[in-house]
Amino acid sequence: MNKTNKKIIIIGAGIAGLSTGCYAQMNGFDAIIFEMHNKPGGLCTSWNRNGFTFDYCIHNLAGTGKLKLAKMWQELDAFDKEDIIQQDVFVRVEDENGQELNIYTDIQKLKKHLKTISPEDEDVIEDYLNAGHSLLNADFFSMGMDGFFSKLRIIPQSYQIIKWSKINLEEYARRFKNDFLKKAFPHVQYNMEGSDIPMLPHLLFMAGFEAGDLGWPKYGSLQFSKRIEKRFKKLGGNLRYNSPVNKIILNDNRAVGVILKDGTEHYADIVISAGDGHNTIYNLLDGKFTSDFIDSYYRSYGESQEFGLQVFMGLNQDLKGEPHAIALLINQDLEIEGIKRDSLYVEIFDSTTGLAAEGKSVIKIVMKGNYNYWKKLKSDKESYKQEKEIVYHKVIDVLENRFPGIKKDVEIYDVTTPLTVERYTHNFHGWQVWSPPAAC
Ligand SMILES: Cc1cc2nc3c(=O)[nH]c(=O)nc-3n(C[C@H](O)[C@H](O)[C@H](O)COP(=O)(O)OP(=O)(O)OC[C@H]3O[C@@H](n4cnc5c(N)ncnc54)[C@H](O)[C@@H]3O)c2cc1C
């Protein structure tokens, strides 16, 4: 590739910033990334506690199998193929009586399982899973890869896309005659609230699994980020850690450089912010380029977000043989943030995932978390800390019923809230990418 002699400044070494940097270098630009932390990844991160790795981010990564997106990860050298864990069961929904719905990643296996649970629901099961299978050719996750023409791929699937966007998981669950399926089905997509989640994303996941995709990179999210960081550096990119950007320099309303927190100025032909949108628009650019649409988008965003609250535990217990994820339907009282919870989403990482030593495991619980709830508590550091302790104790009491003896096997635990994300990435209100706007 010929050098262009053009310089690009990128703000942030999350996955977006690192990937942009790699492709900039591959296309002959000189890229420099300014990252406020001392490590790469942003949201795509993990941390170590007493020999356990607590993984914050990746659940299912598109492009780990046969989908076109795989080409991008190859170019970024993001993982070795042999380190991708493909799950047999995406999630198991378990009720209080031990009844199980296993969402197998193999559609034929899943069909058989569902028909065994409820032969009288054959039509509803066929309708659901035939749709999952037919969306396979849309390769939705690779949509941006080949520009305009890749989008034409979805035309034959437009009917399915419209049909399944209009119905949510809870509504679809009501079509089952079987009472257990009615109750369990709304929990199949990361246990997100079934009434908020259209069937379409779930079906795209089923199609992705059918393509042998959506695996999980062994060793977790930080390792994944570090691989792309390594690629960027190998391509000759310049990465500056501990370098928060305070302002974007403008010339005739064009971004021409940045001012770092230490006061130094840096100039380039192109400036790209791969940090949080809100911080970029209202702080780095002083709100000069906002609009009513953008303002109302940020004003109307919901304060409660899926995955906002996470509880991690390092266990002296081998949980091999358990599925990777369980949506546990519970009938005991569980109130968190003053809201009654009727289920817990439990992710299990045994030693084969690289997150725990042999004979040990990590458990991660993800649930909805409310920014304002934790923000109020944070005004008194001690109350904030205490509330996190309370959350842990409530959760472990519930888990004790499902995993007898677990309490005594917990060696270390940690709780993250939307404020953890805000502090760590400067993301406005600790938002993550997939919180749907409340209204916009
Ligand atoms: C809990 C969770 C689970 C997820 N699960 C999946 C999954 O299973 N599959 C999947 O594909 N995706 C998943 N995602 C989404 C995916 O992780 C994100 O889309 C992606 O990591 C976002 O990357 P980013 O680079 O855009 O932003 P960020 O990760 O937010 O990175 C921004 C970076 O910019 C830095 N920065 C910000 N402001 C400045 C500044 N002023 N100066 C210098 N540096 C700055 C930050 O420190 C950070 O490193 C998940 C996300 C979360 C939070």
Q: Per-residue pLDDT tens for 411-439?
A: 999 999 999 999 998 888 888 765 443 33
Helices (H) and strands (E) in the chain, counts: 16, 20
Report, as an integer, the average pLDDT of 318-327.
Answer: 96
Residues of the chain with CATH 3.50.50.60: 7-58+220-290
- Residue of 23, 44, 286, 429 to mutate, ligand 1, most atoms within 8 A of C-beta: 44
- For ligand 1, the distance from its centroid to the CA atom of residue 427, given in whole angstroms, is 9
- For ligand 1, the distance from its centroid to the CA atom of residue 42, given in whole angstroms, is 5
Count of residues in the chain: 440
- DSSP at 41: B
**Which atom of ligand 1 is found nearest the CA of 284?**
41
Q: For 214-237, how does the pLDDT look when each residue is reduced to its tens digit (9 = 90+)?
A: 999 999 999 999 999 999 999 999
Question: In whole angstroms, what is the distance from residue 158 CA to residue 60 CA?
Answer: 25
Tell me: pLDDT of 159 over 90: no
- Residue of 34, 54, 55, 57 to mutate, ligand 1, most atoms within 8 A of C-beta: 57
Tell me which CATH code domain 7-58+220-290 carries.
3.50.50.60
- For ligand 1, the distance from its centroid to the CA atom of residue 39, given in whole angstroms, is 13
Question: In whole angstroms, what is the distance from residue 114 CA to residue 109 CA?
Answer: 9
pLDDT score for 436: 40
Tokens of 411: 């060696």
pLDDT score for 81: 93
Minimal-distance CA residue to ligand 1 atom 38: 275
Residue whose C-alpha is closest to residue 128's, from 146, 114, 142: 114
- For ligand 1, the distance from its centroid to the CA atom of residue 237, given in whole angstroms, is 20
- For ligand 1, the distance from its centroid to the CA atom of residue 294, given in whole angstroms, is 20
Name 408's Cβ contacts closer than 8 Å, sequence gap at least 6.
none
Q: Within 10 Å of residue 23's Cβ, how many Cβ atoms? A: 16
Pocket of ligand 1 (CB under 6 A): 11-17, 34-37, 42-44, 56-62, 244-245, 274-276, 279, 307, 425-427, 432-433
Minimal-distance CA residue to ligand 1 atom 27: 14
Tokens of 129: 């899973």
Strands 89-94 and 100-104, by their bridges, are antiparallel
pLDDT score for 300: 83
Predicted confidence band of residue 1 (pLDDT cuts 50, 70, 90):
low
**Which atom of ligand 1 is found nearest the CA of 42?**
49
- Which of the two residues, 266 and 301, has the higher pLDDT score? 266
Minimal-distance CA residue to ligand 1 atom 37: 275
Report, as an integer, the average pLDDT of 70-75.
Answer: 95
Report, as an integer, the average pLDDT of 297-313.
Answer: 90
- For ligand 1, the distance from its centroid to the CA atom of residue 22, given in whole angstroms, is 17
Sign of CA dihedral 173, 177, 183, 188: negative
Question: In whole angstroms, what is the distance from residue 286 CA to residue 249 CA?
Answer: 11
Contact 85, 219 (CB under 8 A): no
Minimal-distance CA residue to ligand 1 atom 19: 433
Tell me: pLDDT of 200 over 50: yes
- For ligand 1, the distance from its centroid to the CA atom of residue 108, given in whole angstroms, is 35
**Which atom of ligand 1 is found nearest the CA of 62?**
11
Q: For 336-360, how does the pLDDT look when each residue is reduced to its tens digit (9 = 90+)?
A: 999 999 999 999 999 999 999 999 9
- For ligand 1, the distance from its centroid to the CA atom of residue 15, given in whole angstroms, is 6
Minimal-distance CA residue to ligand 1 atom 1: 57
Name 305's Cβ contacts closer than 8 Å, sequence gap at least 6.
368, 369, 371, 418, 430, 431, 432, 435
- Model's pTM, two decimal places? 0.94
